[in-house]
A and B are shown apart, each in its own frame.
Chain A
Amino acid sequence: MNAPLTPTTLAELADAVRSVPRVLAIGAHTKPRLCAVAPEVTLISTLGLSGITEYQPDEFTFTALAGTSLREIASTLEARGQYLPFDPYLIEAGATLGGTLAAGLSGPGRFRFGGVRDFILGVRFVDGAGRLVRLGGKVVKNAAGFDIPKFFVGSLGRFGVFGELTFKVFPRPAATLTLRLPVTDANAATQILTAAAGARWEIDALDFLPTADAIALRLAGPAAALPLLATEILTRFPGEILSAASADALWADLRELRWTFADGPLLKLALTPSQLPALAATVRNHAGKLHVTAGGNAALVSLPAPIVSLGLPALTLRGPGPLWLDAPTSPAIVAAVKTALDPYNRFPSLAA
């Protein structure tokens, strides 16, 4: 494999894409499987493209270069009382903003206000023809042109190389409170996930923990209100309020994927709560671990060894094995759109 190209300006990024026949952008390489491609593909590291280029707290928006670390973004936003509510993963591991969009991974906080797709507003990117273009907008609301920025969520770098991204942000809730609700099995977990998600409490995060013995339920809002809500929730679902320190540790461990096997595949799945019991049984049969987030709508599965099927479509984020498990066949439009954005087939296919 060639040494990665390391552009430091957006113009250099476009040059880099044009300079080689086959390329893939990478960020901090926190999701190596998504970056693993055939040897003739030259990698472009975006780490030299770093920094917040525009931040207007009163607009609820910021714009940053693709290689900017989430760590820098999170701390800059926090200093102004704001945050990215979708709780991106691997902040401490160094994940970049561009990699987060391309991987399409949203953490537990996506439960309340939505995931990456609900916060991306605009992208300046290099298409497969090597042209630097900007689509979407820099304001919180914009309906002009097709929503290519949203399309890029989960696009794995296969349709364009991002140079600069604009996101919407929200004011950070004044306080959070996490409840731990023990459950005996995945059926019981599903029941709580479903009942709590439809309730009046405006829950911030609702996860079935990798220990498979409890639901973590996070509330966020004014400090005075949260204990009142928690008391009511605990009368419906027995459990306990975690101390701030144990709550922080719990969410940080999930965010940094500390519960996963060091080797072996890490997979992402989209599901509905009703599919959870069957998935949990399959994972247990393979001696794996499971973190279910977004109220039972997304799961990360860590396995000790590769397998071929979990019974639901899955994307491999890390470790050995094929990129996709049980992927549905692509309609013809997928190839047509790939050709439209990447006419010279510079980027690897989504299939590999």
Chain B
Amino acid sequence: MSSPVAPATDPVRFLRRLGEILPPARVLAGPAQLAAYESDGLTAFRTAPLAVAVPETQAEVIALVRLCQAEKIPFVARGSGTSLSGGSTPVAGGLVITLNRLNRILRVDPAQRVAVVEPGVINTAVTLAVASYGLHYAPDPSSQSICTIGGNVAFNSGGAHCLKYGMTSNHVLGLKAVLATGEVVEFGGASREQLGPDWCGLFVGNEGLFGIALEITLQLLPRAEVFHTVLAGYRTLEQAGDAVSAIIASGLLPGAIEIMDALALEAASAAVHAEYPPGCEAVLIVELEGPREVVASQRPQLDALIAASGPVEARPARDATERAAIWKGRKSAFSAVGRLSPDFIVQDGVVPRRRLGEALRRIAEMSRADGIRCANVFHAGDGNLHPLILYNGTEPGALERAEMLAGKILHMCVEMGGSITGEHGVGLEKRDYLAEMFNADELDCLHRLHHAFDPLGLANPGKMFPDGTAPALAQHGLHPLEKAGLISRE
């Protein structure tokens, strides 16, 4: 039921009708033009689509989806293509609908503290547009200066501040979307409350499988007045982990609790010229935020907890510049690792927080045993790990070995009672692991829901669901996408 991609009726007719919706300059179909869209942040997967459509208005997006529906052509919505799970990888023979030009901030209501935006608006552009009102948009993925709100909605993206503020879905109040069926729906609105089932909550995190978000109402929060950001270096990862436990047990609710390991520190210090305490296996970043009176009274408590946790050195940021430097180092970590290795896979597993130390030990052991380097950057407060598995794609078999290690890590996360993804989504990359988290009945329930939104399986087919898991799929004799040539790997 999940991804029964109907065969394209007639690509030539489809392209002709596409030309009736968009001018030629906004339909990309030549090999050179398509090359830029062949993959996303997970570059190991590459597929050339039939064409890329560049709509500029919501009406054009709706017309495109309805055309795909009429012609039974699969489509993939695309924001900035920073997905790390292959979520925006095109489908062979399908249309890519790129949403970057739907980048208008339609309305900012400072009194109600909401912004209504189109899906191609860049995450940081929202905060920029509302900063003069003393407001900000809380979800802050490390990719926030390039990724789009549409992509954030599709993946329910997180960031460093999820512990206190939650993920994207906690900040989406309303949505207008064109569903895969062509139906245009509006869920929620400007109120922070709702009546009836939470349709917005269901839509967020759909990984592009339900349809395309056209307009998103975001809740804004008053910008925290002051911050107290501490960077502490530890001899061992365990010590850093113990410090996290002590902070959690203290009753404090920091805005963020992050850890970077030695390899990630090496990369970050080279990339942004940050100087970290020497000889440390781990650096912990903890941030308190709030009204100055509140932070002033919590600050000694945090400082005492950190002092008692035996750091090599603890450095509180003395001003906004030092705070920004701490976060720059942290947020650049993924791209910085690119300096250490030609290729890498970013993993996104979650484990119960109290088992973080054990998880990190096991990852280190597995990485040693497989002879594959693995850097760790993680949202320690949430138990959300981001092991970066380094490999050289030009070495035969290296990608496969890296993926095997990634698989072992995911398996471990599930076994520990966690999840295969905290914020990057299942996408293409982890679809084979969905069945480790959910049994056949549970997968069937997800498939049914998917089928309700997309009976023809046209919206981003081949993502999230492992092929062949749905009994209905097997009965209908549908082929796995890879076999059908819809997705290929290089």
Contact = CB atoms under 8 A, between A and B. Distances in A.
Interface residues of A, number: 84
B383 interface: yes
A294 to B, nearest CB: 6
Interface stretch (A15-23, A44-52, A234-242, A267-275): A267-275
A143 B201 contact: no
A115 to B, nearest CB: 7
A158 B418 CA distance: 29
Contact of B297 (A140, A224, A313, A337): A224
A39 interface: no
Contacts of B464: 145
Contacts of A343: 448
Contacts of A297: 191-193
Contacts of B111: 194, 198, 273-274
Contacts of A142: 350, 418-419, 421-422
A225 B167 contact: no
A222 B448 CA distance: 48
Interface string A207-237: 0000000000000011011001100000000
A135 interface: yes
Interface string B142-178: 0000000000000110100011101101100000000
Given A143-B421, A336-B452, A154 B446 contact: no
Interface in A141-180: 141-148, 150-156, 158-159, 170-172, 174
B251 A171 contact: yes
A175 B142 CA distance: 34
Nearest to A190: B111
A79 interface: no
B166 A221 contact: no
Given A135-B442, A152-B197, A200 B225 contact: yes
Contact of B354 (A58, A134, A137): A58
Contact of B201 (A81, A141, A151): A151
Contact of A147 (B169, B196, B450): B169
B384 interface: yes
B442 A133 contact: yes
A1 interface: no
Contacts of B354: 56, 58-59
Contacts of A154: 194-198
A104 interface: yes
Contact of B423 (A58, A143, A200): A143
* Max chain B C-beta neighbours (<10 A), residue from A144, A147, A155, A270: A144
Interface class of chain A by DSSP = loop
Contacts of A151: 197-199, 201-202
B160 to A, nearest CB: 12
* Max chain B C-beta neighbours (<10 A), residue from A154, A170, A313: A154
Nearest to B114: A272
A281 interface: no
Contact of A270 (B195, B296, B424, B444): B195
Contacts of A295: 192
Given A59-B352, A137-B350, A144-B421, A274 B199 contact: no
Contacts of B185: 331, 333
A295 B379 CA distance: 31
A148 B449 contact: yes
B252 A171 contact: yes
Contact of A106 (B133, B193, B420): B193
B291 to A, nearest CB: 5
Interface of B: 110-113, 133-135, 155-156, 158, 162-164, 166-167, 169-170, 179, 181, 183, 185, 189-199, 201-202, 204-206, 222, 224-225, 245, 248-249, 251-253, 290-291, 293-294, 296-298, 348, 350-354, 379, 382-384, 417-426, 430, 434, 437-439, 441-442, 444-446, 448-453, 464
Interface of A: 56-60, 81, 104, 106, 110, 113-115, 117-118, 127, 131-135, 137-148, 150-156, 158-159, 170-172, 174, 194, 197-202, 221-222, 224-225, 228-229, 268-274, 294-295, 297-298, 313-315, 324, 327, 331-333, 336-337, 339-341, 343, 350
Given A144-B438, A271-B191, A332-B181, 7 more contacts: A135-B446, A143-B421, A154-B198, A155-B197, A194-B111, A315-B196, A340-B451
5 contacts: A115-B192, A139-B352, A151-B202, A153-B198, A154-B195
